[in-house]
Amino acid sequence: MIPGVLAVAGSDSGGGAGIQADLKTMLALGVHGMSVITAVTAQNSLGVQGAWELPVEAVRAQYRSVVDDIGVQAVKTGMLASAELVETVAELIGGTDAPAVVDPVGVSKHGDSLLAASALDSVRTKLLPVATVATPNLDEVAQITGVHVESEEQLREAAAAVLAYGPRWVLIKGGHLPGDAVDLLTDGSQEHWLRAPRYDNRHTHGTGCTLASAIASGLAKGLSVPEAVAAAKEYVTGAIEAGFALGEGIGPVDHGW
Ligand code: PLP
């Protein structure tokens, strides 16, 4: 049986991030990708020109259609836009017997907001508690916990602050720090440090979506969380190295490397 992975996320019309990156990652990693679209963005290499969230009922119906018939071996969440959608998705995931990778998407690389400020509290109290793995970057850590990480040593403090909201594991993505791309995966007792060389490539659109989807794909195939995260880090590092120019701005990571 081919494992099924469900992405609950926003559409990126430019094909670099969001649902489009999720499905490309899943195809590349040999799982069956499915989607619950939460929002539609008008987006290209220069940024997000517009965003429209879907009605809660449309999100709920997509989720039920997939889970009630096909079934899912893992779920991944990305852009959830509003407090109402965050709470709806948290409730749906909480009632599903599959691991959930939560990418608490806040702001795009261009600085466009993909989550209302009023939704942050729902992320903390509803969404993080149902996550098997949460994958915040340092901006998202600061938004969620108030911890501002400026050095590798502070990644531990950031991880503890996120774990306090209840995810089973947290992967703090330290890619915005200078030097090697260092991430910390921990469940509060085990610690796994993941290190990859930094590629001098500005075409990194879709990195976060790709990493979270790759983790979910690994979990669906039966890997443990540390195994799935290590494999996903390797996948996204290759995709970043192969990222290519498209349009006038930041191009996408490449799934065909
Ligand atoms: N657009 C959508 C729909 C997303 O879900 C995301 C990230 O999760 C982005 C854009 C931002 O991608 P990036 O920060 O890699 O440019």
| ipTM reported for the complex, 2 dp | 0.90
In this prediction, residue 180 carries a pLDDT of 86
Q: How far is the CA of 189 from the centre of ligand 1 (A)?
A: 31
Q: Which residues of the chain have pLDDT under 70?
A: none
Q: Do residues 57 and 82 lie in contact, with contact meaning Cβ atoms separated by under 8 Å?
A: no
Q: Do residues 133 and 215 lie in contact, with contact meaning Cβ atoms separated by under 8 Å?
A: yes
- Domain boundaries defined on the chain: 4-241
Q: How far is the CA of 209 from the centre of ligand 1 (A)?
A: 7
Q: How far is the CA of 52 from the centre of ligand 1 (A)?
A: 14
Picking from 35, 18, 7, the residue whose alpha carbon sits closest to that of residue 114 is 18
In this prediction, residue 218 carries a pLDDT of 98
Q: How far is the CA of 47 from the centre of ligand 1 (A)?
A: 10
Q: Do residues 25 and 233 lie in contact, with contact meaning Cβ atoms separated by under 8 Å?
A: no
Q: Does domain 4-241 have CATH number 3.30.950.10?
A: no
Q: Which atom of ligand 1 is nearest to the CA of 51?
A: 3
In this prediction, residue 257 carries a pLDDT of 83
164-203 as b/e: b if 16+ CB within 10 A? ebebbbbbbbbbebeeebbbbbbbeeeebebebeeeeeeb
Q: How many CB atoms lie within 10 A of CB 153?
A: 8
Tell me how far apart the alpha carbons of residues 65 and 71 are, in angstroms, rounded to a whole number. 9
In this prediction, residue 110 carries a pLDDT of 85
Write down the pTM of the prediction.
0.97
Fill in the DSSP letter of residue 81.
Answer: B
Place of tokens 């599903």: 96
Residues 6+ apart with CB under 8 A from 167: 102, 128, 129, 131, 132, 133, 134
Write out residues with Cβ below 6 Å of ligand 1. 9-10, 12, 17-18, 41, 43, 78-79, 105, 108-109, 114, 205-209
Name the residue of 22, 45, 108, 202 to mutate for ligand 1: max ligand atoms within 8 A of Cβ. 108
229-247 as b/e: b if 16+ CB within 10 A? bbbbbebbbbbbebbeebe
The secondary structure of 41-80 as a DSSP string is EEEETTEEEEEEEPPHHHHHHHHHHIIIII--SEEEE---
In this prediction, residue 64 carries a pLDDT of 98
Bridge-partner residues for 48, per DSSP? 43
For 43-56, the pLDDT digits (tens) are 999 999 999 999 99
